[in-house]
Amino acid sequence: MAANDPGQPPARPDEAVTFDLEPPNSALAIGAHPDDVEFGCGGLLAKWAAAGCTVHHLVCTDGSKGTWDVAADTEALAARRQDEQREAARRLSGASTGEVRFLGRVDGELDSDLATRRDVVRVIRELRPDVVLGHDPWKRYRLHPDHRHAGLLACEGVVAARDPHFFPELELTHHRPSAILLFEADEPNHVEDVTSWLERKLDALLAHESQFESTMHAADEADLTSFRIRISDRLADLGRPYGIGAAEVFHLIDDL
Ligand SMILES: [Zn+2]
């Protein structure tokens, strides 16, 4: 039956906020650039990993534009950022770290075309995650096209991965995750308590050393401390309405 069968009552008529999913066996977090996933859902991934969830990462672009240095060797930067992403994944998930994959599209030029969607479907069908996490592609007034396209790739990739007649040339068994969690959500409807995992999220973010200047606005230790405080305050603000010390919020889609 189609998920949007108009004969069925809406699954969640009042759009009530839900809290703290059961940790899944495996999760795949899809980000446009190295570091996006740590910003968007690092606390939740650390929490799930500690509960035994295998945490996989898929980074869509090479991150080669992530510098303010006009003379930068962008190939070297892309290689460095892959190393940083692997280190960030390890800091988040430890022994529960799954695969860290890279689509390698050029930073700033990501598209959600069929060829790229097929590459995402391949990863979903190979890794077979219970939950897929990604950018909310419908966040209003979002400027960066890579984030929008990466979000579309996560959502449309799940649609294609779950149905057997999409991309049969991949010769991979279709796979239907149980839920999608969109971070940077335009309309959050799900809250995760990450109070105990805030430090791990921050440590993972700080694995992205090449981004200290351009993203974290940090030139020295004092700036890095300020960055940690900014992120901590943000997560505290998100949790406060619910009496939670630190929260990450999402738009949950569990009618797949
Ligand atoms: Zn990004």
Cα of 12 to ligand 1 centre, how many Å? Answer: 31
User: Which residue is associated with the tokens 């703290």?
Assistant: 20
Judge contact between 60 and 153, C-beta under 8 A.
yes
**All residues at 6 or more sequence positions from 52 whose CB lies less than 8 Å from its CB, including other chains:** 23, 25, 96
Cα of 207 to ligand 1 centre, how many Å? Answer: 15
Amino acid type, 119: D
User: Which residue is associated with the tokens 């603000």?
Assistant: 237
Cα of 9 to ligand 1 centre, how many Å? Answer: 37
pLDDT tens by residue, 95-123: 999 999 999 999 999 999 999 999 999 99
Classify residue 194 as exposed, middle or buried by CB count within 10 Å of its CB (0-12, 13-18, 19+).
buried
pLDDT tens by residue, 179-201: 999 999 999 999 999 999 999 99
pLDDT tens by residue, 41-63: 999 999 999 999 999 999 999 99
Cα of 7 to ligand 1 centre, how many Å? Answer: 39
pLDDT tens by residue, 208-244: 999 998 888 888 999 999 999 999 999 999 999 999 9
How large is the C-alpha radius of gyration of the chain? 18
Cα of 89 to ligand 1 centre, how many Å? Answer: 16
Cα of 147 to ligand 1 centre, how many Å? Answer: 6
The C-alpha atoms of residue 132 and residue 130 are separated, in whole angstroms, by: 7
